[in-house]
Structure formats: C-alpha cells, structure tokens
Structure 1
Amino acid sequence: MASLPPDLLKSVHNVDIVIERRPTARDRKQAKLGPGGLLLGLYHGIPLTKRGEYYNLVAPDKISIYQEHIEDVCRDDDEIREQVRKTVLHELGHYFGIDDDRLHQLGMG
C-alpha cells in the first residue's frame, strides 16, 4: 500500500484489502473464470460510478488478493511485490468504475 500513489489513496474509502490463499468457487464464478484459469485479485463491491444517493451504512467493499495464484506467476519475492501492487491497482480501478477493457487499454490489465 505504501507504494501506491498518495493522491489515489486519498480517494479510496471503506475498502478492505485482504490476502486469501485461493479464490472460492463463488469468486471464480463472479470473475467468469473457468476451472483452470488463474485469478490474481477480485473487487467485491459496488463501484463508485454505480452508487446511488441511498448508498450509505454499508459494509466495506473488499479487494481480495489470491496468494497462490500470484505465486504461480512470479519467480521471486520482488516479482510477487510488483504483481501484488499491479493487482491492487487493477482492482482499485474497478472500485472507481473502470472496466477490464479500459484497464487493459491503460496498461493495467
């Protein structure tokens, strides 16, 4: 988190970032991921762009980071740290309402 841009972090509210060993079947379904695919992270919540005027008093949104899948695509601790950073930024993009296509265009795929 310390390596993320401070201006970005100032705009993020009520979001928990958690590390989980691997995605659940429900997570895989939400991500539309088949049985053999890797899922590095997942945003659970309602993006800022979809929240209405009555959006309040809700549990925090959550960003899950999947340890085993990240370890599967990285060779060493430095790559793991960089991949976690990229994954958190990608999932924060979803928090801000940016879809996967646009995140790929921005180099955050």
Structure 2
Amino acid sequence: MVEMDPEAFEQLVTDVLDELPDEMVEGLDNVVFLVEDAHPDEDLLGLYEGVAITDRGNYGFGELPDRIMVYRLPHIETSETLDELRGEVRTTLVHEIAHFYGIDDAQLHQLGWA
C-alpha cells in the first residue's frame, strides 16, 4: 500500500489530470474535480455526478457544475507503488470523464477502459 496524505493525493490527481490528452479535457464544460477519502456507501475509486453531454438538451447558464469525484483511500489501499497509483488515478479519471461524454460502462468495457 502506498502512503499518501490528502494534500499529496490531491496534487497527484491534478498532475495526472494535466497529463491527459487535450482532446479529452477540452470539452469538459462546467465540471469540477473533487477528491474525498471514500464514498460513504460504496467501495468506489471514482464517481461522475451530472448529466452527460449526450443527455443535456437545453443545458445552459446557471446550471450547477457536474462533479467528478476521486476517492483517495481505495486508490492507495490497492496500489503497491507510486507508478501503480498514478496509473489507477489515470484510469479512474478517464473512466469518469468518459461518463461525462455519455460513454456507459458497457461501452467502456468494449473499449478496454473498464
């Protein structure tokens, strides 16, 4: 297990997000990325909360931002090295960003991303 305090993990998430391809992040409109220790009810690495762009309809000004949550404890508990942790965080970010773009879990599995 990798030891990492909340601030260091949040910086890691920010660094990994900055390394993602521009094509993946340029379309993220009205989305916030948050880091929490763990989901209160489920064992999750991440969670997208919002309305996918494929389902937005008349989405416009004044809407609350969509949220992409990254959960620290499940990541560090399942990672043996810092490189493995970075890879898991990257996979989680790509997975949750895909949900923003309307790609569901079945499609993610077909693409090899889940």
Q: Same fold (TM over 0.5)?
A: yes
Return the letter of the residue paired with 1:40: L
Which of 99, 103, 109 is the equivalent residue of 2:108?
A: 103
Alignment of 1:29-40 (within 5 A): 38-40=43-45
Aligned residue for 2:28, secondary structure, equals: coil
Q: CA deviation at 1:46?
A: 0.6
TM-score, normalised on structure 2? 0.80
Q: CA deviation at 1:81?
A: 1.0
Partner of 2:70: 65
Q: CA deviation at 1:49?
A: 0.7
- Cα distance in 2, alignment partners of residues 100 and 73 from structure 1: 21
Q: Is residue 2 from structure 1 mapped to residue 7 from structure 2 by the alignment?
A: no
Q: Give 4+ residue runs of structure 1 displaced > 6 Å after superposition.
A: none
Q: Is residue 87 from structure 1 mapped to residue 87 from structure 2 by the alignment?
A: no
TM-score, normalised on structure 1? 0.84
- Cα distance in 2, alignment partners of residues 99 and 84 from structure 1: 19
- Cα distance in 2, alignment partners of residues 91 and 39 from structure 1: 11
- Cα distance in 1, alignment partners of residues 94 and 111 from structure 2: 11
Equivalent residues, number: 97
What is the percentage of aligned positions where both structures have the same residue? 38
RMSD value, Cα: 1.0
Gaps of 5+ in 1: 29-37
Aligned residue for 2:19, secondary structure, equals: coil
Q: CA deviation at 1:16?
A: 0.7
Q: Is residue 24 from structure 1 mapped to residue 29 from structure 2 by the alignment?
A: no
Return the structure number with greater helix share.
Answer: 2
Q: CA deviation at 1:105?
A: 1.0
